[in-house]
Amino acid sequence: MKYNELKQLVEESRSTRRFKQDSNITQEDLKELVDVARITSSAKNAQPLKYILVTNKQLVEALSQATEWAAHLENWTQSKDEMPSAFILMLNDTNIDGFAMFDAGVSYEAISLAASAKNLDVCALASIDREICKDLLEIDYKYEVLLAIAIGEANETVKIVDVKDGDTEYFRDEQDQHCVPKRALDEVILGTNE
């Protein structure tokens, strides 16, 4: 893969909050995504992350309702006909001494990019009712729920726009496109030493 192809894949890999309802995502699809995450870097190579793969429609609906979608969109909540087709729950095994939050970021990005490469779309959700998740899926107490990753096919347009006046909150434009402001390159590079 060349640099430009990688950059394009990253640009296309956006968080999706509205999903098509006719997607058929299988356990095998989810296993393939986790397999990519499994081989990524892990702090101290401790590998504390574990995953639960959810394709059961009733559980997907229950998990969707146990999450807060799009906190910056005050007048929007996900409707039943916008739900994802599947979830991957990312868990931290608290019996393993690692840096789970580092690993979670690396692993989520790997899952996101792998999903994009398979023409799937994802959204990482940290605003989740962890107790409901644990009860629904009968998760052992030693596992900490880090993220619920919604997976499906996008039923919306998500685009990158420039940050204006320092405001990085995502929004919907006049065409109901989901806009994600990103800082300019010269704003994020604080200096160089040559």
Alpha-carbon distance of 27 to 48, in angstroms, equals: 22
Cα separation, 77 vs 101, in Å, equals 27
Predicted TM-score (pTM) of the model is 0.91
CATH class assigned to 157-194: mainly beta
Tell me, letter by letter, the H, E, C secondary structure of 91-134: EEECCCCCCHHHHHHHHHHHHHHHHHHCCCEEEEECCECHHHHH
In angstroms, the CA 32 to CA 30 distance is 5
> In whole angstroms, what is the distance from residue 78 CA to residue 138 CA?
25
Q: What is the pLDDT along the chain (194 residues), one digit of tens a residue?
A: 799 999 988 988 888 888 998 889 999 999 999 999 999 999 999 999 999 999 999 999 999 989 877 666 676 676 788 889 999 999 999 999 989 999 999 999 999 999 999 999 999 999 899 999 999 999 999 999 999 999 999 998 889 899 999 999 888 889 988 888 999 999 999 998 88
**Can you give the residue ranges of every domain in the chain?**
3-155, 157-194
Sign of CA dihedral 111, 116, 119, 122: positive
Report d(CA 154, CA 60) in Å as an integer. 16
Name every residue whose Cβ is closer than 8 Å to that of residue 149 and which is 6 or more positions away in sequence: 87, 88, 89, 90, 108, 111, 122, 123, 124, 125
In CATH, 3-155 is 3.40.109.10: yes
Provide the pLDDT for residue 73.
67
